Structure 1
Amino acid sequence: MAFLHHQNQHASTGQRLTGFARYTEVLERNIRKYLFTNLMTILGFLPFAIGSVYAILSSSLLVMLFAGIIGGIFAGPSLSCMHDAVFRSFRDAKPRCFRDYTLALRQNWRQAILPGILFCLLLGFDIFMAMLFWWSASFPGWGTIALYLFSILIVTMCFSTIWPQIVLFEQPFLRSTGNCLLFMLRYFPRVLGTALLQMLYWIALALFLPWSVVLLPLTGFWFILYTADFLLYDTLNNSFHIEEQIARAYPEQVPFYEDDEAWIRRKQQTENDDAGSTARKKS
């Protein structure tokens, strides 16, 4: 993965990088954290996955309903931790795998249960509908397929802006939903693009099952969520003032930037102070 090599030719500005340089910089610094959190997210989705498989094998929509409810209780908090890991890295917070995960889980699990259940119920319904199309003796029709894909697209667009609010703000779910609708209307092209990107990713994995299962520990949730959240982050930050609110509440988490010259001067001053302290001790 050569694109993960540190691009230090931009490091002298003393500012955050932009574009693809920023994408690879954050990814390189936090890749271990993403892989760890991705593994925990996969474990969180196991109850839903097992219930969905049983519902398909038994052709029971009722079983899928229970799988969505029970699975969502575990999937919601684990998915919120994945988003939390991504958004912490966008603020240039120091990556701490286990500590950040336990902190995110403790802070977000209550707020994440309801959207997790709703998300898994809708996802389970979409999975069951796909199996009905597969079992059908005749082709369901292009209009039906288009309506089905459109419903998935709308759900993906909504949750692309709901999950960031779950992990960033303590507010009722209805307020997050209202903010989601307003955000979608104002930035429709950007939200639509990120939702289509996520749909293509998951459809590609679904089409190549069961071989694509081996990719889940490597790319799984983190890669597409990192990419989608990266594309939305500046817009979300400008709309909800994410970093401004966090800086007021937690000033110790504000990142510190300096250019190369300032770093050299500070380093030299530190070395001079250390040398002076050593000389005084010897005398």
Structure 2
Amino acid sequence: MTRVNELLHQWLLKSASDKGIAWLEQKQAQIASSAAARVFFTAFSAVPRYLGKENLQLTSEDLEAAQAVLPGWFPGHWSVDQAGRILLLLALPSDDTQQYVRSLDQVFTTADMGELVVLYQSLPLLPHPELHRQRAAEGIRSNMSNVFSAIALRNPYPAKYLDDIAWNQMVLKALFVGSPLHLIWGLDSRANPELARMLADYAHERWAAKRPVSPELWRPVGRFADTAIIADLEKMLADGDTTSQAAAALACAESPLPEAQALLSRYPDLHSSIQRGDLSWSSLS
């Protein structure tokens, strides 16, 4: 956590006023010294007033430093007030685990939407991250799109701590609300057979309703494709638009089944593009 604090503080020095930084450091010290709870809550709400709401001015080197500290941490879209609030969260004493969790519970209970976004962004950075699984699951169920995005997108917490049931629900909901799957950290490493089945079923529901299917849907499917899914991929290769055909080809390329490889061989241009590295999920996204 020390390195996280250092980075956040460095970034704020480039984007916030000296007066705002002095106020924040004072509140951090008071909170770390077990000041009354009202000191934290008052300061947490007041951060935008003292620091502002401008975006953090991060360089590519800053983003690389974040990745070095915690793979999957991507603060490139964070604002000054969000960074300041996370520094206050990190100042909360955490040696008494039960008291710490109770304090966090109170913050979540009283937070407005903007504060909830910060809280969910902060989960992978907080002490005792394994204790926050239920909170992450609540964020996934949220009807507030900003809150859902804060936990589901550009956040390494779900991939590391959620079980397959919660993870699969998150990926499926991301598709349902139109979120880009490539922004889900760990999407490839957490792919699993049950998720592949759920996504294929969802694709059939969309097709039955004559609604489009995101090509990204097939990204976690290829390695676990069965005969029925390969038939779906064959349909897309034959009748889909260019992007859907590319997605189907990529899914086939990742399948260990001979039927998938035979299907892909019927589309030599796509097959060659994949082999050369010109076509990948990253380029498709």
- TM-score past 0.5 threshold: no
- Structure number with greater CO (CA < 8 Å, separation at least 6) is 1
TM-score normalised by the chain length of structure 2: 0.29
The structure with the largest helix share of the pair is 1
TM-score normalised by the chain length of structure 1: 0.29
